[in-house]
Amino acid sequence: MKKSLVLALLASTALALSVLHGAVLAPGWAQQAAAPFDPSTLPEQQIGKRISVNAEDLPAPKTGPIVASRSLVVPYTGQAPRVPEGFTVTAFATGLEHPRRLLVLPNGDVLVAEQKVGYVTLLRDDDGDGKADWRQRHIEGLNGPYGLAWRDGKVLVADQDDIWEVPHRLGALRPGADAQDTKVADVPVGCRHGSRNFS
């Protein structure tokens, strides 16, 4: 009886010491494992270290494979993004010609800059089902429209050449018969590109 009690006591003491030993060591180990890698600690990144690059040490231009980063256009065939459980995704509008930028107006209407065809289309969801019930060409004759903004009852549109100010009545499908598009700025030739937006 005494022998088994002594063995049990020794076993529990050994177990307690191993747990205590592990508890003492674990925080240090956990800190080492959790420390993120810091590239500034590498020897070649020391402050004040001089780096010399000589042209003759570089490879000749265009000796390796030429790499191109082109966008991949995938035709829409009903596919949808994956979303968290409990969420759904529906297409608000399909069949647009190269849509590049959206602007949601204060009343919920959506303007879409269709860049290749040169116009801005108005989309409207009348019944709240998340799909556009109205689709109307809203502004035409633009050269690659991209940037869209809403300011003081007017839609600002930046295209390849100019910035246009187009009067718009919220809820209307067209700017109106008496509405005049006004060119508010020329875009200098050296600054023209297809991703101009307003900030």
86: CB partners within 8 A, 6+ apart: none
More confident residue, 12 or 180: 180
| Per-residue pLDDT reduced to its tens digit, 6-19 | 334 334 444 444 43
- Mapped onto helix, strand or coil, the DSSP state of residue 163 is strand
- CA nearest to 166, candidates 157, 146, 158: 157
| Adjacent-strand bridge partners of 104 | 110
Give the domain ranges of the chain: 1-32, 92-199
User: Domain 92-199 belongs to what topology?
Assistant: Neuraminidase (2.120.10)
135: CB partners within 8 A, 6+ apart: 93, 121, 122, 123
- Mapped onto helix, strand or coil, the DSSP state of residue 104 is strand
| Per-residue pLDDT reduced to its tens digit, 60-116 | 887 777 778 888 878 888 888 888 999 988 889 988 988 989 999 999 999 999 999
166 falls in which pLDDT band (50, 70, 90)? confident
Residue that the structure tokens 């809820």 belong to: 171
Q: Are 39 and 45 in contact (CB under 8 A)?
A: yes
